[in-house]
Structure 1
Amino acid sequence: MANILRIQVVVFALVAASFTNIYLPQPVLPILQSEFQISPVQASFSVSFVIMGIVLSNLFFGYLSDRYPVKPIILTGGVFVAAGGLICSSTGSYTVLVACRLLQGLFIPALTTSIAAWLSRSLPAERLSSVMGAYVSATIFGGMGGRMLGGWIHPPLHWRYAFVTASAFILVTVAMAMVVLPASGREEIAAARSSNGRETYSSLLRKKELLLIYACGAGSLLIFSPVFNYLPYRLSGAPFNLTTETITLVYLVYVLGIFLGPLAGKLSSRLGGGVMLIFSSILLGLSLTLLLLPSMTAVILGLLGVCAGFFSLHTVAVVLLNRKLTCSHGKANALYVLFYYTGGWLGLTGAGFAYEHAGWEGVIVFLAIFLVIPLSVGVFERRVESKARD
């Protein structure tokens, strides 16, 4: 039991460190815009190009994690992610910064997708829901930590030091993983390679029940990510006129998701994944409308609801996916992450143009349109679960 606990702690730290790097510049986008003399859409590239890199490389690392030991993959990914962050901290060129953010994105799946696949095939089914919920909580903790690091722990004008700290965090957690994670034996590698041969990416995509879950993940991040990406512009202007440090404190609503991850996983086992997806979609939609009101109280309540709705959607989708799998966990989870971040990238980019043309109201309307995706998947899952009970 003690050894399993140590592994879970290391996995949590490694995933959190990885996600810290993804959203690091988000609270200081207006500062990047001013320092490099760029537009809001160009400033958002410092986040969206990381996501693009994840999208481009994720299937490759999913394939590797089904065939080879996890520790060398983690080590390689950690070195490149840390190196990219250190270059970002010292460059005076925004083009170089964006290129290194892309480099970081290309190697983050070596730390996240490979770990998810390893957990899925290594844990007994009865522990998978709660542990995958904890995995999602680590992604939430990392997302919050990156935003706090970039806009509050280090003063906003010193955003470069945040990249140094995040790189050091990656290197420390990778070193912990090298010490604590068990080496893959010949039997495990052989079993993983055998499993890899049973499903292809194409065959997984032809399964309707999996494709819908992938769409749910994509739609969820598409809605969620732009809210926090363009929040600094909303809160720094009238009627709020908040400082960057104060805006960054608003990201503490993320703490809610750290507890919601495991809880949502347990509730999906008790109430059914379909019910949870429907409830979470409705909550997310109602919360988006609160963000339109010129009231700080409404904004905080709206952000809490957005976090609760999104984190529940994401956790339940991950749990449902891994419940349905009997093999090829690396490939299946890689496809989920591919769809997930493709949705996030489309959301960030599309919402950027919506913001430029119609302001914050345009962003909220753009996002609300896509609520139909997780809501529809929830209705489908509820029907499937009802038939299974009958």
Structure 2
Amino acid sequence: MEDGEDRLIMPGTPVFRRTAVALAAAGFSTFAVLYSVQPLLPIYADEFNVSPAESSLALSLPCAVLAVALLVVSPLSEVWGRKPVMLASLLASAILTLVAALVPSWHGFLVLRALTGLAASGLPAVAMAYLGEEMHGRAIGLSMGLLVGGNALGGMSGRLIAGVIADHASWRLGIGTIGVLALLAAFAFWWALPPARSFRPTRMAWREVPGSFGRHFHDAGLPWLFAEAFLLMGGFVTLYNYIGFRLLDPPFSLSQTAIGAIFVVYLFGTLSSAVTGEVASRLGRRRVLWLAIGFGLAGILMTLSQNLWLVVAGIVVVTIGFFGAHSVASSWVGRRASRDRAQASAVYLCLYYLGSSVLGTAGGWFFAHAGWGGVVVFVFGLYGLALAIALRLSRLAPLGPPAL
């Protein structure tokens, strides 16, 4: 076998395209399964007689379980291999989604959603580690952007499909359809992903695992990138969790189908993640991250408008800013971590999904007590703090060209 950079995947090659297809399919499946329930939260609140904050548990609970499980599953990929762990994750989450569509009770549905989060934990951090190991430095920004773009496409499609089907048939049929699509994506992943050429399995000494996570907190930049994940995802999910409640009420009074159609703006996130990842590879992540967050801040303020088109434009701007920032920050983690990349990615994504869970549910308190204005104040504060951290990261001393 070839040594060094000769075995790394270069952009524009057939193996790069196969890898991009496989991981885009994986990202599509994971985000469709997780986030297809988001436009259905008002339906759950009505059908199961629960509050908006409690209905958000359909999304927050699996994200919380996923966040914690990442810290256990990612070290397993060091032993069992990246592809087997990712494939098992995709198959299990698809099957659990199909079963969840049939469960009659709210609490039974939440249990299955929590198990779905557990199953999905085998994909995000392991995929980031796979790209960090297999991709050449010139390909890492674009490949990570395509992975995040697959996430965006899955999030959009899952929300749109589930919302439209729920409006014309039932939410159960919508969730079941997402399960079938996730199953097809798992088979596409299995077929397309090439064998790893740089991965070397290791024996896992579990007593050493806490140290493999803890050493990343001694780095000058990684803890701040972990904080960015928590703040950015928490604010983004809060915005999407409660925008449906606002748009169902006057002066907008939109249908469930129309609200689901708004999630088409995720296409802008797909484009943004790929473009921003490529730009960051050329200009440097430190120069691009804070600009993407600032873009998101402007979009948050736009959603205060009583004009529907301005609200939708604001959602577009927030989506572009979020996926651009996430693409930059996640690829920065993969390049800055010199060892135990799966664990570094797991910590980043643990905070990412904890932000979705904790802050996404906390936003319900602001919505209940201060309406949409309260949500905007909450999310703007989170993004303002994220911007301050990004400006601090822009002054970070580089580890060298590959890291930044």
Q: TM-score range by the shorter chain?
A: over 0.9
| Bigger Cα displacement from structure 2, 21-30 vs 376-385 | 376-385
Q: 1:14 to 1:314 in 2, by over 3 A?
A: same
Residue of structure 1 equivalent to 2:100: 88
2:365 paired with 1:382:
no
Distance in 2 (alpha carbons) for counterparts of 1:136 and 1:122: 17
Check conservation: 1:65, 1:117, Cα contact below 8 A. Answer: no
Equivalent residue for 1:65?
77
Residues 96-137 of structure 1, C-alpha deviations (whole Å, 9 max, x = no match) = 001100000011121222222112111112211110111110
Q: Which of 182, 200, 223 lines up with 1:189 in the alignment?
A: 200
Q: 1:289 aligns with which of 301, 310, 319?
A: 301
- TM-score normalized by structure 1? 0.93
Residues 129 and 334, structure 2, Cα contact 8 Å, conserved in 1: no
Distance 1:266 1:242, change over 3 A: same
Aligned residue pairs total: 387
Between the aligned partners of 2:282 and 2:195, the Cα distance in structure 1 is: 35
Q: Check whether the contact 1:15–1:135 (CA below 8 A) recurs between aligned residues.
A: yes
Is the 2:40–2:163 contact (alpha carbons within 8 Å) kept by the matching residues of 1? yes
Deviations 1:325-373 (A, max 9, x none): 2221111111110011111112211101111111111111111111233
What TM-score comes out, normalization by structure 2 length?
0.90
CA distance in 1, matches of 2:153, 2:166: 17
For residues 107 and 376 of structure 2, what CA distance do their matches in structure 1 show? 30
State the AA in 2 paired with 1:122.
Answer: E
1:209 aligns with 2:217: no
Deviations 1:146-183 (A, max 9, x none): 10111025536511112222222222222233333344
Match of 2:336 in 1: 324
Cα separation, 1, equivalents of 2:209 and 2:61: 32
Task: Trace 1:217-366 onto structure 2 (pairs within 5 A).
Answer: 217-366=229-378
Contact 2:293 2:325 in 1 (8 A): yes
Shifted more, 292-301 versus 99-108: the winner is 292-301
1:75–1:387 distance in 2 versus 1, CA, 3 Å: closer
- Contact persistence 1:69–1:183 (CA under 8 A): no
Contact 1:219/1:370 (<8 A) preserved: yes
- Looking at structure 1, the residues matched to 166 and 178 of structure 2 have their Cα atoms a distance apart, in angstroms, of 11
Q: How does 1:65-214 map to 2 (within 5 A)?
A: 65-153=77-165, 155=167, 157-183=169-195, 188-190=199-201, 200-214=212-226
Map of 1:49 onto structure 2: 61
Q: Evaluate the alpha carbon distance shift between residue 182 and residue 268 of structure 1 in structure 2; reply closer, same or farther with a 3 A threshold.
A: closer
- Alignment match, 2:10: none
- Note if 1:36 corresponds to 2:48: yes
Q: Is the 8 A contact 1:74 1:174 kept in 2?
A: no
CA distance in structure 2 between the aligned counterparts of 1:307 and 1:188, rounded to whole angstroms? 34
1:387 shift after superposition: 11
- In structure 1, the partner of 2:7 is none
1:26 maps to which residue? 38
Which moves more between the two structures, 262-271 or 350-359? 262-271
Distance change in 2, residues 1:10/1:190 (3 Å):
closer
Quickly say closer, same or farther: Cα 1:264–1:35, change in 2 above 3 A.
Answer: same
Cα RMSD between the aligned structures?
2.3
Shift in Å, 1:269? 2.7
Identity of aligned residues (%): 25
For structure 1, the 5+ residue unaligned runs are none
In structure 2, what residue type is equivalent to 1:276?
A: V
Question: How far is 1:65 from its partner?
Answer: 1.8
For 1:191 and 1:126, locate their aligned partners in 2 and report how far apart those are by CA, in whole Å. Answer: 27
Q: Distance in 1 between matches of 2:31 and 2:174?
A: 13
Aligned residue identity for 1:332 = A
Unaligned stretches of 5+ residues in structure 2: 1-12
More helix by share: 1
1:222 shift after superposition: 1.2
